[in-house]
Structure 1
Amino acid sequence: MTDLARFFDTTGYAKLPVLLPLDLISRMRTVVDDHFARGVQPYRVNDTGTPCRLDDLLERDPVFLDALRHEYVAGALRQVLGPTVDVVHARHNHATLNNPGDIPFRLHRDIQQWSQPLVAVFFYLEPATVTNGCTTVVPASHRLPYAGTQSGGGGGNWADEHEQYQHLIGQELPVEMPVGGVLLLNCLCFHSVGRNTSASSRRSVVFACRASDELSQVEDPGVTRLFGKRRFLANRVLRVSGSLQQGES
């Protein structure tokens, strides 16, 4: 296990030691700013009706796949997820402005169980500081057990909805990041956007990645392969559409 993978496994998150090139960050920000300015759907609004989150980024422009496939990011994902990695379209896949008051602070997980592991990949298009609401994380909280479903049918957990998790509130640490910084986060790790007490926004984009499902015999239409070659690895012969397929072991 590499030092990065060991740190990530222990704490539940890791800041990459290198920054993405500024031209790549500029390309992402240009798309994000343009789509916010023109109100390109789908998006979500804040309490004043102003767009504050763009959804379906992967469907908007190929620059976001370029960022996920950049050698710095792909190298880190190989260390924590293995040689074949997919990005999931139905989780995260969005950009946020996080203007003051846009997003309330609330500790949460993005998934409920370890059986569907996901790694969130954050790209910071502006400096993220304590003042403008950087991401906050409760280290090692990805190791806490399942405690029930989320209200509203969501896919994760809110810490304040479960007695087993409420002691985490107040133990979060701020993770300040520079422009071009990349943060990997185990989606079971409790975290929240910080409170933005500044007069400006904090732009970032985030995606969810996972190892390719080696037990599935069919490609998942809900993901895009970032890198690697998918292989079906099984230890017995399986029947597929009337024919036999030999699994590998």
Structure 2
Amino acid sequence: MTVRTIPENSTGASAPAASAADGLAARFDRDGYAVLPGVLTPAEVAELREETVRICRGERGVVEGALPPVAGESDDEAVRRFLCVHYPHKLSALMLDTMRHPAVVGPLTDVIGPDIKSMQSMLFVKSEGRPGQAWHQDEMFIPTRDRSLTAAWLALDDATVDNGCLWVLPGSHRPGVIYPNREHDDARYDCTVESYDFPYGESDAVPVEITAGSVLLFNGYLLHKSLPNSGRRGFRRALVNHYMSASSPLPWAPPEAEQPMAQADFRDIVLVAGRDPYAYKGTTDIRTPRVRRDRSGGCDR
């Protein structure tokens, strides 16, 4: 793969050049992603890093699959035992507030619409040597009826090629195709299946290097991956939240008996903007915080 150098404080300039007149929605529609530089202040980033330590130490509640804390271990040692924690917003008021952060939600209304809900959060730690994820599309895992799924990938450290930043295939969202996927045994990646048989090559891939506090927004159909953290020492921490239009049901679980698929609606959600047309259904608390499997932890599913 050809590594394209992106200048410090990049805003994803390795994609097709954008004119000054290009708005966020236009760039997002064209490329499938956009970078929002400096969304969080250094103090907000530091607070989220500290909260990551508390979560990894078990101070915010139970994380399914986590190893018990070790007496006397340092904060870094405690965090290094994790690759990723799913649903940290259910453990931490700070993580929940960040999911609703106006500086993130505001731009989301430009690319999704006025009514937005979130259904998932993931706190990636990815210390040195830990794996990345193979090519995949988020919409394959979280299927929305209106193709509105959008990730907000918030960097808690400078994300670089060396420490395992995201790579994207610009424009790969536009066909609206969910490509086939398969198991893999590539040690560079965690246990997530890989997408394949898509009409793009490795030479089309662009690394998205961003600074701590910046956010990468990307479409649920965009093909993306990450490589291992090959840095000598250090983390590539990121908080990733998934959002979609609140006007669309979310068929993320099988429908109830005799319920049409079109009415299947996962209601373990957080409304972050506007109104929820399905509020009459109420909300549920289904998913629980858990660790993400990496290859060293086994790939049972």
Q: TM-score, normalised by structure 2?
A: 0.64
% identical aligned pairs:
24
User: For residue 224 of structure 1, what is the aligned residue in structure 2?
Assistant: 270
Going from structure 1 to structure 2, the CA distance change for 1:75 and 1:67 (only over 3 Å counts) comes to same
Amino acid at match of 2:53: D
Aligned partners of 1:58 and 1:65 also within 8 Å:
yes
Aligned residues: 221
Amino acid at match of 2:128: P
SS in 1 for 2:47: helix
Note the aligned Cα RMSD (angstroms).
Answer: 3.0
Going from structure 1 to structure 2, the CA distance change for 1:206 and 1:163 (only over 3 Å counts) comes to same
SS in 1 for 2:163: coil
CA distance in structure 2 between the partners assigned to 1:52 and 1:82 by the alignment: 32
* 1:125 matches 2:161: no
User: For residue 58 of structure 1, what is the aligned residue in structure 2?
Assistant: 89
Aligned partners of 1:120 and 1:187 also within 8 Å:
yes
Going from structure 1 to structure 2, the CA distance change for 1:222 and 1:114 (only over 3 Å counts) comes to closer
CA distance in structure 2 between the partners assigned to 1:207 and 1:60 by the alignment: 14
User: For residue 211 of structure 1, what is the aligned residue in structure 2?
Assistant: 245
Question: Could you tell me which of 28, 42, 48 is aligned with 2:64?
Answer: 42
Question: Could you tell me which of 111, 130, 141 is aligned with 1:102?
Answer: 130
Deviations 1:39-93 (A, max 9, x none): 9513578xxx93221111110112123223222212101101111100013xxx1
Deviation for aligned residue 1:101: 2.8
CA distance in structure 2 between the partners assigned to 1:145 and 1:180 by the alignment: 30
Amino acid at match of 1:230: D
Deviation for aligned residue 1:139: 0.5
SS in 2 for 1:205: strand
Question: Could you tell me which of 43, 46, 50 is aligned with 1:26?
Answer: 46
Q: TM-score, normalised by structure 1?
A: 0.77
Can you give the 5+ residue segments of structure 2 that lack an aligned partner in the other structure?
1-20, 68-79, 184-191, 250-261, 282-301
* 1:168 matches 2:201: yes
Q: Which has the higher strand share?
A: 1
Amino acid at match of 1:9: D
Matches within 5 A, 1:66-215: 66-89=97-120, 93-112=121-140, 115=145, 116-146=147-177, 148-151=179-182, 158-159=194-195, 162-165=196-199, 167-199=200-232, 200-213=234-247
